[in-house]
Structure 1
């Protein structure tokens, strides 16, 4: 290279120098629009970086609460974990839950040290020996000199080590609430200069050379010496996990954990692995990044020694972190977001490094507990299991969602739409449950993308809905189920073609287009679709439902919003759709929308029932959930009567997917779980969500009889009225069991309320309409 390029403002951290560097990058053909968007000011990063051009973001997840025990003090604590590794925060939280339910994690602070190791080189071994013997008698004066250059560092010992003609001098400090690498460098440098001057003066021995560090401090490296003698904070964390918690939260047993632990420790010793832990580094790295720690110290800080010991009714976990290099002042801890995370942990500033180190150890042990349990139970493998083809097709990219692509789709419905220009907004929409599940296992461009379609006369708010394949959804369900019960994952995959998720990527496109072509106005307006199976591309263009233009929207937890008129109007519209599909049901191939029968996946639904019964702590609720096994038998041994109409039903018909516009008109959306079934199924699900916890029996009666009359039926028809009971049992077994199982991982507000309403409805219908279910089932058989 004849000439080395000069980057403008090299080393400077000023607004102008940053601007020059970014312009230089652009001139060289490098994109910097994203990196330059930073929330940090130049003042905040001054002395923390050179040649500043911007910042990168790492998402931060909330970990906790975790019950932390320090002496006689018990406290629920939280931490922020900055990571791009999916499932890490969830695993830390599961471990925190298990530990907290077992009495918490107890931590002990042993000591905190920082080491710097100046090296002095002499001409002969005798000179080196003389120097090593000289040091101890001059420790007080060296200590005084070193400590003049810091408000926090205290020199507690100097340990000389001779290697031929060199003497390595390990300076051991305590550094208050700072991690101390920089301050001990400064202190040791001045002490070293003092030593050189004094030793030469007193002995007339000349040094051949001397340097601030001969690599004897193990700075940002792992060594046996550091572990044995100390560098950073030395912390122990212990947790006595109760057997009941191991089984319920971690889905395994203490015997299984111990059985796997002992031989795995044996192999690590044989292999010479340094320490033994599962994945301590993940927890420490995430907290380090969130709180402004020196990421270069991650390697040495992640030395962890995990030990398990069987107890009478559980298992004792002990984690030792002997070289945890952390600080609550200095470095990146003063940056606004990092400082806020320290405040979240109540560890900001002076006097808090001991607490900070203890909490890191506690959260690291939480992750150890959860991950090891996942490995032993099979959850870890199931969550990472590859299902089917993993080779990417030519998937839709975000950049393809442009004017040409979208107007070509819209033009198929109305040629005038080809004249629109497309303008995306940056509003983030909450994706549905199916899309959120899929995003865990797929890198495809899926989800909701709102935009404005404009021409010279008008502007329309529209939405692109890019759908995942049914197999992608199954993968997401499979991964989620692994955290509940690994065998549930297998069953979801085994019965994937018998669930309502089968063909979910094509069903919604079919329904929207079909209802649009037949003049239905009770769904979001349809503007076109794009299907390409080779690219796994299934896209809808539809009306964007602005929450501000809706009176009832995403109201599954607000039954009080739903007045009798709203409910009746919704029953009217969904019945119109049901009757339309009943008339054309024979023309809809099962490859488009399939019939749904719980009998096709009995094993799956029984497993869900077993899980939620085992999980339930309250006796009355547990007994209620046990009844679902009887319901499963009812709906699988004899199906509904052939005299009942079969149609395409929504099959997820609740106030999350059915709303009321500001003008009072109903709107029904998200049809991806549609199946062929009796119309009763949609009606009872909607009523179960909207009737509230206290059912007005007169209202319930009026809704059922209104729906019955819309079909020109009579309430004396026992087969028709039994259809409601059958549908309620199917809804409880096949949908609410999924919701209850999901509550193991995430709290939902509605399941218990909706389940109670369903049981009340069943009892009421039996009594009010004198339905003998055994007699009706026999007739059906």
Structure 2
């Protein structure tokens, strides 16, 4: 192997220093020239920098050598109710961040404060400092200068006014350090942060000072500089924490016990206890002030609104305090040196200006409002984070899947010809087939909730749905070959534990009994073995099942790389009602009948094959375990009724409460009935009909399990039927399913199985949906809940049960 020889330092010194093209030019041509130079010197393709949405002409004064932009996602937190001196009413804050859960945590704190009556805020003072240094020949000259400079404030104010109409000199504060005197020029800067403005004003003042001292024997300085670090520019200093630099602003709120419990999932006493430990530990660590994570909000709003991002360092220091009185939690946050502006600098850029407008802070006259908004939202985050730590949610939210070794995960590049060639060769019965191209297809159709849930975890791992057009050629008889292409979807599955952990994080955010109980039962909420279960379904040779699956080209399983991949047909315009969970009105009676007739042969084919199914569906739920889990289902119900009364009113909660209470009785009856393979997620998110003959196609089988066949029917009816459905229509659909399955049992026994399956769907699936709904809005949930409750009421009436009211 040849050795790489680095050029010597002497040789490098003799080489001409590289010159960037387009220096000082703000044009698209200059940007492209600079991008070409960067590609050439780094050998990086830089494809993402090819286009820029920012007009270079708008950037003089903001950046030099402009080559492109970094797009940072912006999320909305709030709204937060303010009753402040400079801001009143509801405010929603744009937060620019790539830190997962930050926006959600701020939003949680904002909700708690708003429900408790809002945040009171006020600006205490506003100033900007610059501190030039004058060095003299001796101590006496330095002392005399310090006494002289404070008498010249009026003259210095006039010099400042010549440079800036927005800066007003309020204080001259000399600090003598030996032969040097640092002079703190303290300004009010109106709506600008004022750092550049005050530098220019101070420079003009210093020119006048030096001119005056030159004529005063013995007072001429031997050296001068415009700044020597006493101002604390872009650094934390205790001086600025006490005297202020930027805006000194305070926000306060009082939270009642009910709000702390319901929204923050803790208690005032738990938060206060943690706070006192945090203060002592902060002192031991040498923390300046006391704060939890206000800098998170400050940085996110700074980026979104065009502030000087480096000023987060000095702006992020806070004084956070809580106390409990008569069961209420009072929280206060002081930001002593918040350096912000609503005019000048990055606030002139179009998107940053828009986000300032969102806050009602665009243009002059809004600097104090802006500071109070930042402080209010920083207080919301501090409260939310502290409550999460006190309630145990903070650790849960950061749980990761433990791996005893480094995993060479499947990458996007691995989803290419080497993986697909053997699959297509077998599926197309062409051993010599070659894959010539794999082109990825942009597809706006939604992914499954499980895929979305897993995506909240480790982003380094490739999982999800990847549509592609695969071009191929194969040899024919006599040396003649043909070529073609196949549109398919690669479903790259997460591990079951990845989904289980992310679901547990959602449960943790619920707090209370849900957060306490869910970790114990999280392996039994339906997600165990989902990464292998679906592969088993697609490997099956059972004709009735293969008839409803999308065409399968193959599966790939490599446990060592945590790779579980299914290659299946891409469902295109030749199918109807795909992803129609939010539009059930599209389902005609004949469509619903076709779906029921389509799944019935699968149910019929696997009836009585329990042992065979358990081999690839375990773990399977049991009456004993459902009874033990009753406290979890009850906790989920009470949480849902408390958090979402618009979904679960008192009557609905009472009906479901009765069902949960009776789980030991009815699940034993359910367990004794004939069972089969069920999809267990059989709804318009995961099924469609082929337009040619209305034949069923069902996908996303990761939750498949052993259950009564009516389980799939119950879920389908809950998603598709209207909330005012009549009893006669339900009875007709039940008969249709029973006859299509060919079950020998009579209508009464069949209906009993349907009734219990409907209860099971309501408890084990809908209550989990309600839990998810708190963090990820499910548009279909309100209607599905209403229909399910209507279906339950119909069955109660048929069985002669008393009204659950």
| TM-score (ref. length: structure 1) | 0.93
Three-state SS of the structure 1 residue aligned to 2:206 is: helix
| Aligned 8 A contact 1:8 1:20 in 2 | no
Three-state SS of the structure 1 residue aligned to 2:556 is: strand
Q: Does 1:299 align with 2:299?
A: no
Q: Does 1:571 align with 2:571?
A: no
Q: Does 1:467 align with 2:493?
A: yes
1:149, distance to aligned residue in structure 2 (A): 1.2
| 2:423 matched residue in structure 1 | 409
Q: Does 1:450 align with 2:467?
A: yes
Three-state SS of the structure 2 residue aligned to 1:240 is: strand
Choose 688-697 or 577-586, whichever is displaced more.
577-586
1:694, distance to aligned residue in structure 2 (A): 0.4
| 1:329 matched residue in structure 2 | 343
In 2, the alpha carbon distance for the partners of 1:393 and 1:516 equals 35
Pick closer, same or farther for the CA change 1:190–1:249 going to 2, 3 Å: same
In 2, the alpha carbon distance for the partners of 1:483 and 1:662 equals 43
Partner residue of 2:57 out of 36, 43, 50: 43
Q: Which runs of 5 or more residues in structure 2 are unaligned?
A: 1-8, 473-481
Q: Does 1:86 align with 2:115?
A: no
Three-state SS of the structure 2 residue aligned to 1:483 is: helix
In 1, the alpha carbon distance for the partners of 2:626 and 2:18 equals 68
* Aligned 1:146-295 pairs, distance under 5 A: 146-203=160-217, 205-295=219-309
Choose 708-717 or 280-289, whichever is displaced more.
708-717
Q: Does 1:600 align with 2:625?
A: yes
Choose 345-354 or 42-51, whichever is displaced more.
42-51
| Aligned 8 A contact 1:516 1:526 in 2 | no
| 1:739 matched residue in structure 2 | 769
1:689, distance to aligned residue in structure 2 (A): 1.4
Pick closer, same or farther for the CA change 1:488–1:691 going to 2, 3 Å: same
Pick closer, same or farther for the CA change 1:147–1:73 going to 2, 3 Å: closer
1:742, distance to aligned residue in structure 2 (A): 2.3
In 2, the alpha carbon distance for the partners of 1:418 and 1:578 equals 39
| 1:21 matched residue in structure 2 | 34
Q: Does 1:9 align with 2:24?
A: no
- How big is each residue's C-alpha offset from its partner over 1:559-594, in whole Å with a ceiling of 9 and x where there is no partner? 322222111111001111222233755434434454
Pick closer, same or farther for the CA change 1:658–1:153 going to 2, 3 Å: same
1:375, distance to aligned residue in structure 2 (A): 0.2
| 2:728 matched residue in structure 1 | 698
Partner residue of 1:645 out of 660, 674, 677: 674
Q: Does 1:660 align with 2:689?
A: yes
Partner residue of 2:665 out of 627, 634, 645: 634
Three-state SS of the structure 2 residue aligned to 1:148 is: helix
In 1, the alpha carbon distance for the partners of 2:781 and 2:29 equals 57
| 1:777 matched residue in structure 2 | none
In 1, the alpha carbon distance for the partners of 2:656 and 2:614 equals 36
- How big is each residue's C-alpha offset from its partner over 1:182-224, in whole Å with a ceiling of 9 and x where there is no partner? 1111111111111100222245632101100011101111111
- How big is each residue's C-alpha offset from its partner over 1:238-283, in whole Å with a ceiling of 9 and x where there is no partner? 1111110100111111111112212321332344310111111111
Partner residue of 2:330 out of 316, 333, 344: 316
| Aligned 8 A contact 1:609 1:628 in 2 | no
Three-state SS of the structure 2 residue aligned to 1:527 is: strand
| 2:452 matched residue in structure 1 | 436
| Aligned 8 A contact 1:121 1:209 in 2 | yes
Pick closer, same or farther for the CA change 1:590–1:152 going to 2, 3 Å: same
| Aligned 8 A contact 1:58 1:84 in 2 | yes
Three-state SS of the structure 2 residue aligned to 1:138 is: helix
In 2, the alpha carbon distance for the partners of 1:602 and 1:218 equals 64
1:109, distance to aligned residue in structure 2 (A): 1.0
* Aligned 1:375-524 pairs, distance under 5 A: 375-389=389-403, 391-416=405-430, 418-419=434-435, 421-427=437-443, 429-443=445-459, 444-455=461-472, 458-485=484-511, 488=514, 491-514=517-540, 520-524=546-550
| Aligned 8 A contact 2:617 2:705 in 1 | no
Choose 507-516 or 194-203, whichever is displaced more.
507-516
In 2, the alpha carbon distance for the partners of 1:12 and 1:550 equals 57
Pick closer, same or farther for the CA change 1:746–1:313 going to 2, 3 Å: farther
| Aligned 8 A contact 2:514 2:635 in 1 | no
Choose 24-33 or 258-267, whichever is displaced more.
24-33
- How big is each residue's C-alpha offset from its partner over 1:533-556, in whole Å with a ceiling of 9 and x where there is no partner? 11110111112234x555423222
* Aligned 1:678-717 pairs, distance under 5 A: 678-713=708-743, 716=746
| 2:784 matched residue in structure 1 | 754
In 1, the alpha carbon distance for the partners of 2:398 and 2:327 equals 31
1:313, distance to aligned residue in structure 2 (A): 4.0
Q: Does 1:528 align with 2:554?
A: yes
Choose 11-20 or 34-43, whichever is displaced more.
11-20
| Aligned 8 A contact 2:626 2:663 in 1 | no
Q: Which runs of 5 or more residues in structure 1 are unaligned?
A: 773-781
Choose 512-521 or 718-727, whichever is displaced more.
512-521
Pick closer, same or farther for the CA change 1:215–1:684 going to 2, 3 Å: same
Choose 498-507 or 418-427, whichever is displaced more.
418-427
| 2:384 matched residue in structure 1 | 370
1:387, distance to aligned residue in structure 2 (A): 4.4
In 1, the alpha carbon distance for the partners of 2:56 and 2:404 equals 44
| 2:586 matched residue in structure 1 | 561
Choose 590-599 or 327-336, whichever is displaced more.
590-599
| Aligned 8 A contact 1:553 1:655 in 2 | yes
1:7, distance to aligned residue in structure 2 (A): 3.5
Give RMSD over aligned pairs. 2.5
Three-state SS of the structure 2 residue aligned to 1:173 is: strand
Three-state SS of the structure 2 residue aligned to 1:412 is: helix
1:765, distance to aligned residue in structure 2 (A): 3.2
Three-state SS of the structure 1 residue aligned to 2:229 is: coil
| 1:674 matched residue in structure 2 | 704
| 1:68 matched residue in structure 2 | 82
In 1, the alpha carbon distance for the partners of 2:515 and 2:429 equals 47
| Aligned 8 A contact 1:631 1:733 in 2 | no
In 1, the alpha carbon distance for the partners of 2:412 and 2:512 equals 34
Choose 11-20 or 45-54, whichever is displaced more.
11-20
| Aligned 8 A contact 1:721 1:771 in 2 | no
| Aligned 8 A contact 2:31 2:66 in 1 | yes
Pick closer, same or farther for the CA change 1:688–1:429 going to 2, 3 Å: closer
